[in-house]
Amino acid sequence: VICNVLCVGTELLLGQIDDTNSTYIGQQLVDAGITSYEHRRVGDNPERIEKALRDLLEVSDAIIVTGGLGPTHDDITREVTATVMGAELEHDSAVLENMKAIFARRNREMPQTNLRQAMVPKGATVIHNHLGTAPGLMCPVGDKTIYLVPGVPHEMYPMVTDTIIPDILSRGKATAIVTRTIKTWGISESSLAEQLDAFVQAGETSDVKVGFLARGMNGIYVKLSASADTKEQARAIIAPVEHEVLAVLGEAAYGFDDDTMESIVIDLLKKQGKTIAIAESLTGGMLSSRLVDVPGSSDVHMGGVVSYTKAVKHDVLGVQVRDVYSNECAEQMAQGVAKHLGSDIGLSTTGVAGPDEDNGHPPGEVFIGISTATDTIAQRFLLGGDRKRVREYTTITAFDFLRRYLSSFNLD
Amino acid sequence: VICNVLCVGTELLLGQIDDTNSTYIGQQLVDAGITSYEHRRVGDNPERIEKALRDLLEVSDAIIVTGGLGPTHDDITREVTATVMGAELEHDSAVLENMKAIFARRNREMPQTNLRQAMVPKGATVIHNHLGTAPGLMCPVGDKTIYLVPGVPHEMYPMVTDTIIPDILSRGKATAIVTRTIKTWGISESSLAEQLDAFVQAGETSDVKVGFLARGMNGIYVKLSASADTKEQARAIIAPVEHEVLAVLGEAAYGFDDDTMESIVIDLLKKQGKTIAIAESLTGGMLSSRLVDVPGSSDVHMGGVVSYTKAVKHDVLGVQVRDVYSNECAEQMAQGVAKHLGSDIGLSTTGVAGPDEDNGHPPGEVFIGISTATDTIAQRFLLGGDRKRVREYTTITAFDFLRRYLSSFNLD
């Protein structure tokens, strides 16, 4: 089965937003073993949308189209698709009810313009949208299908994953492609490439391809992929290579696939029955916020103090040392927040986010502290990048520092 | 002049990396007044690259092609373009010298595979690459041009900006396009569309186009754009329409162009000489972290307390009320954090992030509090979306609540 992708929206052509939708759809297709040869982007223009649909229908079994399903009159994907189908648009009362329910939940009047979103091409099947007003639509064209989904990512994701991928799979045989992602932190991408060069070279001629993907504050991913008739076979091909790669990576491998650094840290804390509180200077709440992202984190994450100013470090956290860019400050912040919030463990960040140096300390010089009932440690790191990047790298570096500490602690 | 974009790389189709290159190129083209109708992505496959090039040549004056210029044998953009040009590949000694210099600088031997990168289609002009081994190439095809650039962003950027855009502009008349972005919060996208419908309709036949862009926790943007012979003329065309649109939007318009909700709030605080501290429950540090993103925010942002648990709300912030999902709790949190950190203003968030309801309170029910020396207020909001979205919407809603409060406060 070949499924290609069309993203509709003038804002994409103008570079006003990154097209992350086709990235997501590409990942879902490859995970399902569905081939994709081409992704296109066109603006909100009826002739060009129609031409793209007709072109892609010639080389695809299915097309996933994102965007242009909104209530405003430049949202014309529905109408153009109906033209390509040779079908009329019909009013769909179930879609209308869903829209009314959404507006009612928000205590708001439904504007008349939204009525357009209840128009469905005759012969199309509705994919209900519980998160927004634009329904997804499965539109048959001969033995092929055009799938229309909203451009809003969190509305689009479940439609693709839960409805469209299974529908495409029901139409033809797929090759099973399995990708295993090993997530790492602490080794640069070029060092990883060098250390794993033998595996990359072997992958050129063998079944297990090895690739790298730098994902900012989520670390660097090592991706092993293989294809076979079944997922089980593909997994069996990957397993021995994964084993060898993990031996090379050692402690730098922090998790797999859907793991995040935060989920790993929360799991370690839960296993050891320890609570945590966080004192943040340059990260300004980013660590706490990432932990709150993990469902169930409130079992171990008590909260924290954002001590962005020296006064708060001193008055609230009891920091005594004068130099806020020091291991001593990080230690006292970690001790202070654990005491102040009554947690077992304190974790702290302080340092220079940049863009300028401060009192002779360069941007990217950060100090991370850990305090427990019996132990207080801190370490200095030099991180690269602009202000945003330094703050993000500090976040993952701090979690990684705690992960390595808890892992060895647990072994004692 | 019409310039379309082709991105080559199987990793793009597989969703292994986001395609930010075409975002960048789209921005550069629109800034230069060059029209772009279509962006395509294909894998490292000779037939499909060739078909895409031939298709796009029919509807373009110029094509910018990124990717597939590397040294490995799946990098075939150069060869396929030579085929489309009907030209032979020739060895280019200047390119070879540049590659040798780069390897020498890195103290590494140049692998034989890199020699391929010194092959240039006869008739093409080289764009030298000082940052990497793959040169850019300007390849004439009749009176049209295919521009090849590397997929590595920082190597590609200067080639596009310094060489390719001026080259395209030298071939045809460009139009100056100006876009003015009005950033809003508090009106849904469909209501905005309804309230501004007259402007949207007028834009169909007049010079100022009106569009909308939902940007999550940055709000909803109203975009006014106009084209003219010069940027000044385009700005003059937009100005009266902008004036009228602002009158309709009223308080919902929080800023323009590069403003963010955080930068506006920081500016208001600076103007009024007030400091702030933030108490966060469901947002877990997101508000504080967004404020730290604004350079110079430390003048007014003292920090905050993440009181994710009831115990921290009570012990650290002095919250007395039992129901943490209430206006009273938000008020006491705001008072507590201002007192605890010694700030002029306290801002607080509490509520249900979801995905599940809690004690009869639905996901998305949030309470935001503001406390000053003379005044304490709170308000309940019902926000839509999943857990992540609720937390992000709470963040912008809280800043917006404070912005409106400070704006009216200032008028007294």
Q: Are A352 and A362 in contact (CB under 8 A)?
A: yes
Chain B residues touching residue A70 (CB < 8 angstroms): 189-190
Count of C-beta atoms within a 10 Å radius of residue A271:
11
Chain A residues touching residue B28 (CB < 8 angstroms): 15
The mean of the pLDDT values for chain A is 91
> Edge-to-edge, what's the strand order for the sheet holding A125-127?
A125-127, A136-141, A144-149, A62-66, A3-8, A38-42, B38-42, B3-8, B62-66, B144-149, B136-141, B125-127
The mean of the pLDDT values for chain B is 91
Q: What's the average model confidence in pLDDT over A295-314?
A: 92
Task: Tell me what percent of the residues of chain A surpass a pLDDT of 90.
Answer: 68
pLDDT digits (tens, 9 = 90+) for B195-232: 998 898 887 777 888 888 778 889 999 989 888 888 89
Mutation target for B interface from A289, A301, A390, A392: give the one with most B CBs within 10 A: A289
Tokens of B275: 């400091």
Q: How far apart are CA B294 and CA A391, in angstroms?
A: 12
Q: How far apart are CA A64 and CA A17, in angstroms?
A: 19
> Which residues lie below 8 Å from residue B407, measured CB to CB, with a gap of 6+?
B251, B268
Q: How far apart are CA A119 and CA A139, in angstroms?
A: 13
Tokens of A87: 């079908």
Residue B411 pLDDT exceeds 50 = no
Q: Check residues B42 and B101 and name the one with the higher pLDDT.
A: B42
> Is B391–A292 a contact, with Cβ atoms under 8 angstroms apart?
yes
Nearest to B217 by CA among B287, B276, B281, B279: B287
> Is A12–B285 a contact, with Cβ atoms under 8 angstroms apart?
no
Chain A residues touching residue B29 (CB < 8 angstroms): 15
Residue B287 pLDDT exceeds 70 = yes
Residue B412 pLDDT exceeds 70 = no
Radius of gyration (C-alpha) of chain A in whole angstroms: 26
Q: What's the average model confidence in pLDDT over A342-349?
A: 98
Looking at the partner chain, which of A111, A152, A301 has a beta carbon nearest the beta carbon of B308?
A: A301
> Is A307–B306 a contact, with Cβ atoms under 8 angstroms apart?
no
Residue B316 pLDDT exceeds 90 = yes
* Proportion of chain B in helix, strand, coil states, percent, rounded to 5: 45, 25, 30
> Is B292–A302 a contact, with Cβ atoms under 8 angstroms apart?
no
Secondary structure (DSSP) of B230-291? SHHHHHHHHHHHHHHHHHHHGGGEEEETT--HHHHHHHHHHHHT--EEEEESTTTTHHHHHH
Q: What does DSSP assign to residue B347?
A: E
Q: Check residues A131 and A260 and name the one with the higher pLDDT.
A: A260
Q: What's the average model confidence in pLDDT over A378-396?
A: 92
Q: How far apart are CA B217 and CA B261, in angstroms?
A: 9
Chain B residues touching residue A223 (CB < 8 angstroms): 16
Q: What's the average model confidence in pLDDT over B380-384?
A: 93
Looking at the partner chain, which of B284, B303, B342 has a beta carbon nearest the beta carbon of A289?
A: B284
Instruction: Indicate the SS3 state at residue A55.
Output: helix
Q: How far apart are CA B66 and CA B119, in angstroms?
A: 17
What is the residue type of A374?
T
Q: Check residues B214 and B312 and name the one with the higher pLDDT.
A: B312
Give the residue from chain B lying closest to A12, CA to CA. Answer: B23
pLDDT digits (tens, 9 = 90+) for B150-165: 998 888 999 999 999 9
* Proportion of chain A in helix, strand, coil states, percent, rounded to 5: 45, 25, 30
Q: What is the ipTM, given to two decimal places?
A: 0.76
> Which residues lie below 8 Å from residue B305, measured CB to CB, with a gap of 6+?
A303, A304, A305, A306, B277, B278, B279, B280, B312, B316, B317, B336, B337, B340, B341
Alpha-carbon gap: B412 to the closest alpha carbon of chain A (Å): 30
pLDDT (0 to 100) of residue A173: 65
Mutation target for B interface from A30, A34, A292: give the one with most B CBs within 10 A: A292
pLDDT (0 to 100) of residue A201: 81
Q: How far apart are CA A345 and CA B378, in angstroms?
A: 33
Residue A412 — pLDDT band, cuts 50, 70, 90? very low
| Burial bucket for residue B202 (CB in 10 Å: 0-12, 13-18, 19+) | middle
> Which residues lie below 8 Å from residue A264, measured CB to CB, with a gap of 6+?
A254, A255, A399, A403
pLDDT digits (tens, 9 = 90+) for A4-26: 999 999 888 988 777 889 999 99
Dihedral-angle region of residue A29 (phi above 0 means left; psi in -120 to 50 means alpha; beta otherwise): alpha
Alpha-carbon gap: A299 to the closest alpha carbon of chain B (Å): 9
Looking at the partner chain, which of A45, A131, A312 has a beta carbon nearest the beta carbon of B302?
A: A312
Radius of gyration (C-alpha) of chain B in whole angstroms: 27
pLDDT digits (tens, 9 = 90+) for B15-69: 877 788 998 999 899 878 888 999 999 998 999 999 999 999 999 999 999 999 9
Q: Check residues B132 and B122 and name the one with the higher pLDDT.
A: B122
Q: Are B252 and B404 in contact (CB under 8 A)?
A: no
What is the residue type of A233?
Q
Count of C-beta atoms within a 10 Å radius of residue B10:
19
Q: What are phi and psi of A291, to 5 degrees?
A: -65, -40
pLDDT (0 to 100) of residue B291: 96
Q: What are phi and psi of A19, to 5 degrees?
A: -90, 80
Nearest to A371 by CA among A394, A392, A397, A340: A340
Tokens of A71: 């209530």
Chain A residues touching residue B189 (CB < 8 angstroms): 70-72
pLDDT digits (tens, 9 = 90+) for A346-358: 999 999 998 889 9
> Please, what is the angle between helix A286-293 and helix B286-293, to 10°?
140
Chain A residues touching residue B282 (CB < 8 angstroms): 292
Residue A411 — pLDDT band, cuts 50, 70, 90? very low
pLDDT (0 to 100) of residue A277: 98
Beta strands in A297-356 (DSSP E): 301-307, 345-351
> Is A286–B291 a contact, with Cβ atoms under 8 angstroms apart?
no
Q: Check residues A307 and B203 and name the one with the higher pLDDT.
A: A307
Q: What are phi and psi of B130, to 5 degrees?
A: -90, -10
Dihedral-angle region of residue A385 (phi above 0 means left; psi in -120 to 50 means alpha; beta otherwise): left
Q: How far apart are CA A310 and CA B167, in angstroms?
A: 53
Instruction: Indicate the SS3 state at residue A118.
Output: helix
pLDDT (0 to 100) of residue A33: 80
pLDDT digits (tens, 9 = 90+) for A102-111: 888 877 788 8
Bond prior to B140 in cis (omega within 30° of 0):
no
What is the residue type of A100?
K
Instruction: Indicate the SS3 state at residue B21.
Output: helix
pLDDT (0 to 100) of residue B409: 62
pLDDT digits (tens, 9 = 90+) for A36-80: 999 999 999 999 999 999 999 999 999 999 999 988 878 999 999
Q: What's the average model confidence in pLDDT over A217-236?
A: 88
